Structure 1
Amino acid sequence: MPRRSAAPAAVPDTATQRVYDGIYGAIVEHRLAPGTRLREQELAEGFGVSRTVVRQALQRLAADQVIALEHNKGATVPQPDRAQAAQVFDARQVIEGDIARRLAGQLSAEQIERLRALVAAEQAAQARSDKASAVRLSGQFHRELAVLAGNPLFVRWIDELLPLTSLLILQYQRSGHPGCVTHRHDELIAALASGTPAKAAAEMRRHLQELARSLDGGPAPAGLPLRDLFAAYREG
């Protein structure tokens, strides 16, 4: 689910975008723990780029509210608290509930099949205990609904809320609980296909409420050193 930054498309920078996408993906896929210091030198070594490129990517991530960046303190992965959890899920219920309401009965057979394929891939990832892929595919499912709604602002808001959701799950969800229950995604697709806006919106809210209720504590695990975590993003 590579996410493109809001930087102007007229000034492409593939190296900066590679770093942006790598850090964004690592947060969403639970490979970067809340509170992790994003040190420029380690990231530069990890991605095989200059510190200037890293700094540009961090500035974009901070502008998109994916990371925290403070003058003289550097960049860190945010540590959202329980008050923020309530705010995040409140916002998601409002936005995604309306997305579901708008899409009910409006999706083509091809679009329904694309959603089902995402859920099937997510279920397969869970079955092989590939948590990173399962989390990424779950987020991709929710983002795809925002894309199908046809409003770019919905997509932008979901892009901002998904990393925070992932951090909250990593920080507070009880051990062994799947990040986003796939059978709820199946039920949501059924509600969307039924053509009843109220039913689709209610199913989306129920799904997000269940996810919110699963956040009942537990420390986040330590992650790999940054230079090792992002080694796969280095150009050959």
Structure 2
Amino acid sequence: MPSTRRATHPPAAALADGGSAVGHSITDRIVESITTAIVERRLMPGTKLAEQQIADIFQVSRTLVRQALNQLSRDHLVTLEPARGAHVAQPSVEEAQQVFAVRSMLETSMVRQLCAVITDAQVADLREHLRNESAAVVRPDVTGRTRLLADFHVLLARMLGNEVLAQLLADLLSRSSLISLMYQSAHSAEHSQSEHVEIVDALERRDARAAVRLMEQHLGNVERNLRLNPRVPDLAGALLPAGAAPLSNANTAKRKKSA
């Protein structure tokens, strides 16, 4: 996943469209900015991404913006529809379940492997990350804590020296952020942070069985606290006050009484 640092607007001269290498770097910058805004929950699912407005923000041509939106579409963060344009994706319940199933498979295997190779220096790095998480959780810093809680999982992958796994996890975490926005996660940041501490404790003990179990529980808790199966009332239940009889029944009762 691109770095979650906030993108800054570069000088107009630096955003000239000439040269494929320059164009590619600008496209990456736009992709990074939109991805970061999604991960940090500043762009909501369904938000329209107007090409001209984005081009004006970054002072580039719409061609480069279109390239960035196409890439984000391939990453399943943006949907492109004829006549409607680009919008931040709105994951389905089925997709949400599949994302967490894949994360569970990857991340339980990851911590099992990491227990065998993790160094004391890496444990110290994880402890530092946990301190940063804890500080962000107690502050009214939703953006910071969201980024740090997601980065924890990518950091574990990087400690294995597997950049492909780290990138794959980062992409899945971006999609998880969208899912949380769509389904209004009630899972508290404090709870996630404490579960991270337990996972690092198991890693420090090199206890692979506990690390796998704790990671499974952590991801299961996050998924369970998403409203993936909301109650959908029938039309009568939605329109009539609680305990009220349908109007047809009420009319029948009136007719019987008058008879």
**Bin of the TM-score, shorter chain as denominator length:** 0.7 to 0.9
Choose the corresponding residue for 1:100, options 90, 111, 117.
111
Quote the residue 1:136 is aligned against. 147
TM-score of the pair, normalised by structure 2: 0.75
Choose the corresponding residue for 2:95, options 84, 87, 99.
84
Whole-angstrom CA distance in 1 between matches of 2:33 and 2:52: 16
Moved >4 Å (runs of 4+)? none
- Contact 2:103/2:172 (<8 A) preserved: yes
| Deviation digits for residues 169-215 of structure 1 (CA, Å, limit 9, x no counterpart) | 11213458328710111111111111122221111111101111111
Whole-angstrom CA distance in 1 between matches of 2:48 and 2:63: 17
Whole-angstrom CA distance in 2 between matches of 1:65 and 1:125: 28
**Shift of residue 99, structure 1, vs aligned partner:** 0.4
**Shift of residue 96, structure 1, vs aligned partner:** 0.5
Map 1:184-203 onto structure 2 (within 5 A): 184-203=195-214
Among all aligned residue pairs of Structure 1 and Structure 2, give the percentage whose two residues are the same amino acid: 37
Whole-angstrom CA distance in 2 between matches of 1:179 and 1:44: 38
- Contact 1:100/1:197 (<8 A) preserved: yes
- Contact 1:41/1:51 (<8 A) preserved: yes
After superposition, the Cα gap between the structure-2 partners of 1:24 and 1:48, relative to the gap in structure 1 and judged at 3 Å, is same
TM-score of the pair, normalised by structure 1: 0.81
- Contact 1:135/1:179 (<8 A) preserved: no
**Shift of residue 71, structure 1, vs aligned partner:** 4.5
Unaligned runs of 5+ in 2: 5-19, 229-259
Unaligned runs of 5+ in 1: 5-9, 218-236
Aligned length: 214
Taking CA–CA contacts closer than 8 Å with sequence separation of 6 or more, which of the two structures ends up with the larger relative contact order? 1
**RMSD across aligned positions (CA):** 2.5
Whole-angstrom CA distance in 2 between matches of 1:133 and 1:40: 28
Choose the corresponding residue for 1:61, options 72, 87, 92.
72
Choose the corresponding residue for 1:172, options 172, 183, 191.
183
After superposition, the Cα gap between the structure-2 partners of 1:74 and 1:205, relative to the gap in structure 1 and judged at 3 Å, is same
**Higher radius of gyration, 1 or 2:** 2
Quote the residue 1:23 is aligned against. 34
